[in-house]
């Protein structure tokens, strides 16, 4: 997918406008009144990350495309602000302090690897977004998490913990690992 700078700016403004609107009126933004370019109507999976003073304030998204891009951005904006279980709901007084980052995901693909050393090598070389699945447990880290956790073993261990699994579970041969990339852009 090719997004112009104009498309990216529009999506960031739309995300911000959706938050401003809900705080002003108590209602979600009316999508029927928006003029949307055809490029933004393609089904895509997104994550919205909210930060405040450089610290995570909310991050919610989808791994698979289920909605048109602009609708997914709005839905995940609301979810990141009001439904991330790690944080209290965003307050109106925080709105001016919050920065919005949008990540548009490629479709996840199963990662084939020979053994744990091969897994580590492949992840370290490409630093993709990673989904780890075992039985009914799963978790993901966006590629941006590599900026915080550079070591692939520590990355996988943290991902296991996030999924509610023992931290060394990534070594189990029955674990499934999927990878994806993102187009990311944020407010300045």
Q: The pTM is what?
A: 0.92
Q: Which residues contact 100 (CB under 8 A, 6 or more apart)?
A: 12, 15, 16, 48, 49, 50, 77, 186, 187
Output the pLDDT for position 59.
Answer: 96
pLDDT for residue 111 = 98
Place of tokens 């393609």: 42
Q: Which helix (H) or strand (E) segment is 66 a member of?
A: none
Q: Which residues of 166-188 are buried (b: 16+ CB within 10 A; e: fewer)?
A: eeebbeeeebebbbbbbebbeee
Paired tokens of 100: 């919005």
CB 146 within 8 A of CB 155: yes
Residue that the structure tokens 């997104």 belong to: 46
Q: Is 58 left (phi over 0), alpha (psi -120 to 50) or beta?
A: left
- Block mean pLDDT (10 aa), the chain, length 188: 91 97 95 89 97 96 96 98 96 97 97 97 97 96 95 97 97 97 96
Domains belonging to the chain, first-starting first, are 5-105 (3.30.700.20), 109-180 (3.30.1490.150)
pLDDT of 83 reads 97
Alpha-carbon distance of 111 to 123, in angstroms, equals 9
* pLDDT number for residue 33: 84
């Amino acid at each position: 997918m090719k997004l112009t700078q104009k498309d990216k700016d529009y999506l960031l403004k739309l995300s911000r406008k959706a938050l401003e609107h809900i705080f002003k009126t108590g209602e979600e933004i009316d999508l029927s009144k928006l003029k949307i370019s055809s490029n933004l109507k393609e089904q895509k999976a997104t994550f919205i990350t909210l930060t405040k003073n450089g610290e995570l304030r909310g991050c919610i998204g989808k791994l698979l495309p289920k909605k048109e891009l602009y609708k997914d951005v709005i839905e995940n904006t609301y979810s990141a602000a009001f439904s991330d279980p790690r944080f209290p709901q965003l307050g109106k007084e925080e709105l001016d302090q919050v920065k919005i980052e949008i990540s548009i995901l490629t479709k996840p693909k199963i990662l084939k690897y020979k053994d744990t050393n091969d897994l580590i090598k492949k992840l370290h070389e490409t630093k993709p977004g990673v989904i780890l699945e075992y039985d009914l447990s799963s978790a993901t880290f966006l590629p941006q998490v590599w900026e915080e956790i550079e070591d692939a073993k520590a990355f996988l261990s943290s991902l296991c913990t996030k999924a509610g699994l023992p931290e060394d579970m990534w070594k189990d041969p029955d674990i499934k690992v999927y990878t994806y990339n993102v187009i990311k852009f944020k407010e300045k």
